Structure 1
Amino acid sequence: MPSFLEISPDKLNRLIGTPSAPVIIDVRTDEDFSRDQRLVPGSIRRRYEDVAAWSGTVAGPAVVVCQAGRKLSHGVAANLRHTGRAAEVLEGGFEGWTSFGGAAVPSEKLPPRDPQGRTVWVTRSRPKIDRIACPWLIRRFVDPSAVFLFVPAADVSLVGERFGAMPFDIEEVFWSHRGELCTFDLMIEEFGLASEPLSRLATIVRGADTARPDLAPEVAGLLAASLGLSRMFNDDLQQLDAGMLLYDAFYRWCRDATGETHNWPNQKRGQ
């Protein structure tokens, strides 16, 4: 049972992937991190010694992760609370997270971060399905502060080189379709995020993105909503913002509501 200063791995796992997820800060020492260079989904590395310097950049309630959930994370969390920020410690630290069976993102799969600590990605403009689904996945499970650049298809690779951005969902790059799998499938696999809800969502995304309505009954609904959004917005970033809510809803259905039905019974008055 965690103390009021701690959050259990189970509770944190329920928050990750949702808009209400906390800022997750990994403060493991370099020695500890070198033994397992994976991250709790959505977390960013920070040096515990420099907490006074970076604490002002923490934008919301935080969960601090060290190796075992003891002195380093409690010290950092206490420093954050001193600055007026809500902060908890992950019970058991990274060891507790992996023992619980929580997903862990391999740090070597992440692109280099820009001076503001953000990963930067670039893809074709006028997104429809995969190019909205992938940014949603990255922001909810990999890097909440990720930057996405939408440019003409012919310029994606050059923009990536000149601006330090990782290309995705174009031909002949790592983050793209492979066989029958779309880029969203690939990212779930490569980032170590496989779970029943995300696998269910990936099937729906794949069906909508590759014209396979037979894969799931929900494919037609996602396709219709995605094409509708693409016609509502001329600005790709505005469309992405709207698409985040769409995929939040589909993910929560995949995670929590697949067994629920809805009906409006036509009952007689008084029954």
Structure 2
Amino acid sequence: MPGFTEISPNNLMRLIGGPTAPLIVDVSIDDDFDADPHLVPTAFRHPHTDLDRLTTLAQNRSVVVICQKGLKLSHGVAATLRARGIAAQILEGGNYGWRDAGLPRVPAQAMPDLAQGNTRWVTRHRPKIDRIACPWLIRRFVDPQAEFLFVPPSAVEAVAERFNATPFDIEGGEWSHNGPLCTFDTMIDRFGLAHEPLNRVAVVVRAADTDTPDLSPQAAGLLAISVGLSRLHKDDTTQLNAGLAIYDALYRWARDGFDEGHDWPAKK
């Protein structure tokens, strides 16, 4: 059982994927991390010696601190943050405890290069489904500070090169469709994020994005909402921000509401 300053892997996993998830910081030393280079979803690496900058980053946030085994480094950093007025816990068992619980881990090698401390992505403008679902996935499970650029299709590759951005959902690209699978599926696979609720969301996204509604009864609703959002918002970034709430709700449905129905008045 975790102590009062600790959070268990399973309880932390229930927080990840939502808009109020804690800031997750990995303070493992390089040698430990290099021995098993994976991250808890949304975690970012930060040296345990730079506590002043971490204090600034953690303002007005709850924090979970991780080291490789959940011992001295994470306890020391979390205690320092608490002494500075920040709500901080450690992950029980650290990265090894998370791994042993069989929870999703992001391979460090899958992470694109950082642009000013965050990842930057670029895709075609006027998004509908995949190009909203994928940014949601990245923001909620990979990099909460990720930037997304929407440009004309002919400009995607040039913008990617000039602005150190990773292109996605473009034909023939590395982060794109793969046979019957859509870009959302590709990202789940590459980032090691597969787990039952997210897999359930992926089926809905794939069905709506690839015009295969027989895969999921929810696909028609997602398509209708996505088309409606694109008509409501002329600005792609505004549309993205509005769309995040749609996928937050879809993920919560997939996690613990997928078997719930609704019938009113109740059948007699």
TM superposition score category, shorter chain reference = over 0.9
| Number of positions where the alignment pairs a residue of Structure 1 with one of Structure 2 | 267
Correspondence for 1:201: 201
Sort the Cα spacing of 1:238 and 1:87 in 2 relative to 1 into closer, same or farther, 3 A. Answer: same
1:123 partner SS: strand
Any residues of structure 2 matched to 1:71-150 within 5 Å, and which?
Answer: 71-115=72-116, 117-150=117-150
Specify the SS of the correspondent of 1:176: coil
TM-score (norm 1): 0.96
Name the SS of the counterpart of 1:224 in structure 2: helix
- Residue 197 (structure 1) shift: 1.2
CA distances 1:58-93 after superposition (whole Å, capped 9, x unpaired):
241110000111110011111212222111000111
Q: Deviations over 1:102-121 (max 9, x none)?
A: 11000111111122x11100
Cα distance in 2 between the residues matched to 1:56 and 1:68: 25
Q: After superposition, where does 1:165-184 map in structure 2 within 5 Å?
A: 165-184=165-184
| Separation (CA, whole Å) in 2 of partners of 1:16 and 1:89 | 15
**2:112 partner letter:** P
Equivalents in 1 of 2:197, 2:237: separation in Å?
26
- Using structure 2 for the length normalisation, give the TM-score: 0.97
Partner of 1:214: 214
Distance 1:29 1:224, change over 3 A: same
Instruction: Determine the structure 2 residue equivalent to 1:2.
Output: 2
> 1:158 — aligned with what?
158
Q: Deviations over 1:103-161 (max 9, x none)?
A: 1000111111122x111000011000000000000000000111101111110111010
Q: What residue ranges of structure 2 are gaps of 5+ in the alignment?
A: none
| Percentage of matched positions with identical amino acids | 58
What residue is the counterpart of 2:24 in the other structure? 24
Unaligned runs of 5+ in 1: none
In structure 2, distance between residues paired with 1:44 and 1:163: 22
Q: CA deviation at 1:267?
A: 8.5
Residues of 2 paired with 1:54 and 1:198: CA distance? Answer: 30
Residue 88 of structure 1 aligns to a residue whose secondary structure is strand
Q: RMSD over aligned Cα, in angstroms?
A: 1.2
Deviates more, 1:183-192 or 1:59-68: 59-68
Shift, 1:164, TM fit = 0.5
Runs of 4+ in 1 over 3 A off after TM superposition: none
Q: Secondary structure at the match of 2:64?
A: strand
Q: Deviations over 1:6-46 (max 9, x none)?
A: 10111001111111210000000101001111100010000
